[in-house]
Structure 1
């Protein structure tokens, strides 16, 4: 699974780091990453000279991360909830991983890891087929196994709401201020096989029984054109520790 994440999940653009650094308004020296996966975001921040500590509960993911990031990156096999307050960081961020964390006490724990005035960043977003006709065909192929493959908003925020999660929670938190939401528009082209590989890393498919996974991927592969264009916009949430 770790190798599939590294191979099929798109990386992040340099523009993302520029956005976080501009929001910080001063040089970011240290960062803690939550749910680092295979290091898609880790390498970008490390390449900027930030001293990154990447945390990830899955040992296989961390092993894959170690192949792809600079040696300066520190790693720790730990879930967010297991991190002990101690060292404080200028930046704490999560790349398409925050929805895995426990909502209870999430923001007080987050604040305890940040220096006063430090920055929290969360970014990610669903990847959708750009062509409505292809999307409709794939939806029909998937329907016997799965109604939707999107992650619902963890706090129930409707998709058309101006502020999306986790910005909604950050706005309500006593620990954070200056909550901002931005979107980096992005289009990605993949082969049909790589797109199905990407789907194999999505939680909605991962929870299906193995036989159903095999069947749904086969059905989707059958209806896809040779290459697909994807809408892969990145929604970025930024907030400052009070």
Structure 2
């Protein structure tokens, strides 16, 4: 697992505070796709439990896996009884128990590609559902986005995470749907978008930036300089385009 993937523990509290949760529509979409009650789920890279709490609130018994103990400590603060927290990277999970749902919320890109999909399939019951969701967190005003980019430029060229398989953003099907379509282990691959707009105060927006892995790779002094430079160009509140792209697939029966 890369250093960027393991950089969040140092800011676990900020991650819980500044990262937005997920809308109920996400669970509705997954349950509708499943077409039957989902009783058990394995979560890949649960973080502080943003998505964990959403699925647990629907009565799903979630096994929340996360490699960083500090992130798990935040998750445990609000962990419902039906959640079991396990410190483990996805690659460390051993075959055995299977689940009706395996899902990842803004975490799948941190897993290693080697053996990813056979491992997911091995963790799913026959006809079980795989779900992945995520998306960019972007300033909705193009002029403000350009001003922030210019303020960030002396410190970071980009804070984006490129598509893991190189899929161009203009393509209709995005990753991980592109990979799921290529693996015969899965069927009925679907991609949907949940449109979402958020309004944040300038300090909360900078707080969100402080949870992004690209910034966390900078020396602490440079991080603070970058945040200060960006804060100087922000109005009191900012509008955020935070659409969530959801990919769903079904494990083919053996």
State the TM-score, normalized to the length of structure 2.
0.94
Of 20, 38, 47, 2:48 maps to 38
2:144 match: secondary structure: helix
Of 128, 138, 145, 1:128 maps to 138
Counterpart-to-counterpart distance in 2, 1:68 and 1:154: 32
Find out whether 1:112 has 2:119 as its counterpart: no
Counterpart-to-counterpart distance in 1, 2:82 and 2:26: 21
Counterpart-to-counterpart distance in 1, 2:198 and 2:158: 21
Find out whether 1:208 has 2:218 as its counterpart: yes
* Structure 2 unaligned residues grouped into runs of 5+: 1-10
Of 232, 235, 238, 1:225 maps to 235
Contact preservation (8 Å) 2:60, 2:82: no
Aligned length: 242
Greater alpha carbon shift after TM alignment, 64-73 vs 29-38: 64-73
**Offset from partner CA, 1:70-119 (integer Å, 9 cap, x none):** 12211100000000011100000000000110000000001000001000
Alignment of 1:1-242 (within 5 A): 1-242=11-252
State the TM-score, normalized to the length of structure 1.
0.99
Counterpart-to-counterpart distance in 2, 1:163 and 1:175: 18
**Offset from partner CA, 1:156-211 (integer Å, 9 cap, x none):** 00001000000001001121111000000000111111101101111111111222
**Offset from partner CA, 1:7-32 (integer Å, 9 cap, x none):** 00000000000000000000001000
CA shift for structure 1 position 125: 0.6
Q: What residue in structure 1 maps to residue 4 of structure 2? A: none
Q: Over the residues paired in the alignment, what is the CA RMSD in angstroms?
A: 0.7
Counterpart-to-counterpart distance in 2, 1:104 and 1:58: 21
**Offset from partner CA, 1:17-55 (integer Å, 9 cap, x none):** 000000000000100000000000000100000111000
Counterpart-to-counterpart distance in 2, 1:150 and 1:57: 22
1:54 match: secondary structure: strand
* Structure 1 unaligned residues grouped into runs of 5+: none
Counterpart-to-counterpart distance in 1, 2:166 and 2:78: 35
Counterpart-to-counterpart distance in 1, 2:182 and 2:152: 37
